[in-house]
Structure 1
Amino acid sequence: MKYWLGLDCGGTFIKAGLYDLQGNELGIARRNLAIIAPQPGWAERDMPALWQTAAAVIREVLELFGIKATAVQGVGISAQGKGLFLLDRQGQPLGNAMLSSDQRALALVQAWQKAGIPQALYEQTRQTLWTGHPVSLLRWVKQHQPERYRQIGSVLMAHDYLRYCLTGELACEETNISESNLYQMARGRYEPALAQLLGIGEIVAALPPIVGSAEVAGRVNSSAAAATGLLAGTPVVGGLFDVVSTALCAGLQDETRLNAVMGTWSVTSGISQTIETGFDHPFVYGRHAEAGQYIVHEASPTSAANLEWFCQQWGMHDYRQLNQWVAALPKAGSQLLFAPFLYGSNAGLGLCASFYGMQAFHQREHLVQAIFEGVVFCHMTHLKRMLQRFPHTRALRVTGGPAKSAPWMQMLADVSGLPLELPQVEETGCLGAAMAAMVGTGAFPDFTAAQQALAPRLESVQPDAQAQAAYQHKYQRYQALIGALQTLQSGHSKEAL
Structure 2
Amino acid sequence: MTTYMIGIDIGTTSTKSVLYNEQGVEVGKSQQEYKMYTPTVDTSEEDPDVLFDAVVSTLQGVIQDNDVKPDDISFVSFSAQMHSLILVDDAGKPLTNSITWADNRARYAVEDLKQNHDGQKIYERTGTPMHAMSPLSKMWWLKNDQPALYQQAARFVDIKSYVIYRLTGEWVMDESIASATGLYNLRERDWDQEVLQLLELSAEQLPKLVSTQYICRDMDKNYAQKIGMHATTPIVIGASDGVLSNLGVNSYRPGEVAVTIGTSGAIRTVVDRPLTDSKGRIFCYVLDDEHYVIGGPVNNGGVVLRWLRDELLASEVETAKRLGMDSYDVMTRIAERVEPGAQGLMFHPYLAGERAPLWTSDARGSFIGLTLAHKKEHMIRAVLEGVLFNLYTVYLALVEVMGEIPSKIHATGGFSKSALWRQMMADIFDCELEVPESYESSCLGACAIGSRAIGKRDNYDMIADWVGKTHAHEPNQEVVHMYQELASIFIQVSRSLMSSYEAIAKFQSKHY
Instruction: Return the TM-score normalized by structure 2.
Output: 0.87
Cα distance in structure 2, aligned partners of 1:262 and 1:19: 24
Cα distance in structure 2, aligned partners of 1:264 and 1:2: 34
Residue 20 of structure 1: CA displacement? Answer: 1.1
Contact 1:178–1:287 under 8 Å retained in 2: yes
Query: 2:329 is matched with which residue?
Result: 320
Map 1:133-212 → 2, pairs under 5 A: 133-197=134-198, 200-202=199-201, 204-212=203-211
Contact 1:56–1:227 under 8 Å retained in 2: no
Residue 223 of structure 1: CA displacement? Answer: 3.4
Cα distance in structure 1, aligned partners of 2:468 and 2:193: 42
The reply to whether residue 215 of structure 1 matches residue 224 of structure 2 is: no
Map 1:285-434 → 2, pairs under 5 A: 285-289=284-288, 291-308=289-306, 310-311=308-309, 318-333=327-342, 335=345, 337-342=347-352, 344-346=354-356, 347-356=358-367, 367-390=379-402, 391-434=404-447
Contact 1:167–1:236 under 8 Å retained in 2: no
Map 1:115-130 → 2, pairs under 5 A: 115=116, 117-130=118-131
Residue 78 of structure 1: CA displacement? Answer: 0.8
Decide whether aligned partners of structure 1 residues 209 and 360 sit closer, same or farther in structure 2, where only a CA change above 3 A counts: same
Amino acid at match of 1:323: T
Cα distance in structure 2, aligned partners of 1:276 and 1:39: 36
Matched residue of 1:89: which SS? coil
Q: Kindly report the root-mean-square deviation, in angstroms, between the aligned alpha carbons of the 2 structures.
A: 2.9
Amino acid at match of 2:139: L
Residue 327 of structure 1: CA displacement? Answer: 3.0
Amino acid at match of 1:354: G
Contact 1:101–1:344 under 8 Å retained in 2: no
Matched residue of 1:76: which SS? strand
Decide whether aligned partners of structure 1 residues 319 and 222 sit closer, same or farther in structure 2, where only a CA change above 3 A counts: farther
Residue 318 of structure 1: CA displacement? Answer: 3.5
Cα distance in structure 1, aligned partners of 2:310 and 2:216: 39
Cα distance in structure 2, aligned partners of 1:150 and 1:476: 49
Post-superposition CA distance 1:322-363 (Å, at most 9, x none): 333333433222526242341534324232442426789977
Residue 54 of structure 1: CA displacement? Answer: 2.4
Matched residue of 1:444: which SS? coil
1:459 pairs with 462, 471, 476, which one?
471
Post-superposition CA distance 1:261-295 (Å, at most 9, x none): 22344322222223457965565322222x22222
5+ residue gaps, structure 1, are none
Residue 96 of structure 1: CA displacement? Answer: 1.2
Amino acid at match of 1:228: I
Instruction: Return the TM-score normalized by structure 1.
Output: 0.89
Post-superposition CA distance 1:176-209 (Å, at most 9, x none): 1023221122221113322223xx1225331111
Amino acid at match of 1:128: P
Matched residue of 1:61: which SS? helix
Amino acid at match of 1:142: K
Moved more, 100-109 or 188-197: 188-197
Cα distance in structure 1, aligned partners of 2:506 and 2:116: 17
Moved more, 349-358 or 91-100: 349-358
Moved more, 435-444 or 241-250: 435-444
Decide whether aligned partners of structure 1 residues 62 and 353 sit closer, same or farther in structure 2, where only a CA change above 3 A counts: farther
Q: What is the count of residue pairs matched by the alignment? A: 493
Moved more, 148-157 or 102-111: 148-157
Post-superposition CA distance 1:122-156 (Å, at most 9, x none): 44323322111111111112222223212322222
Matched residue of 1:448: which SS? coil
Amino acid at match of 1:295: V
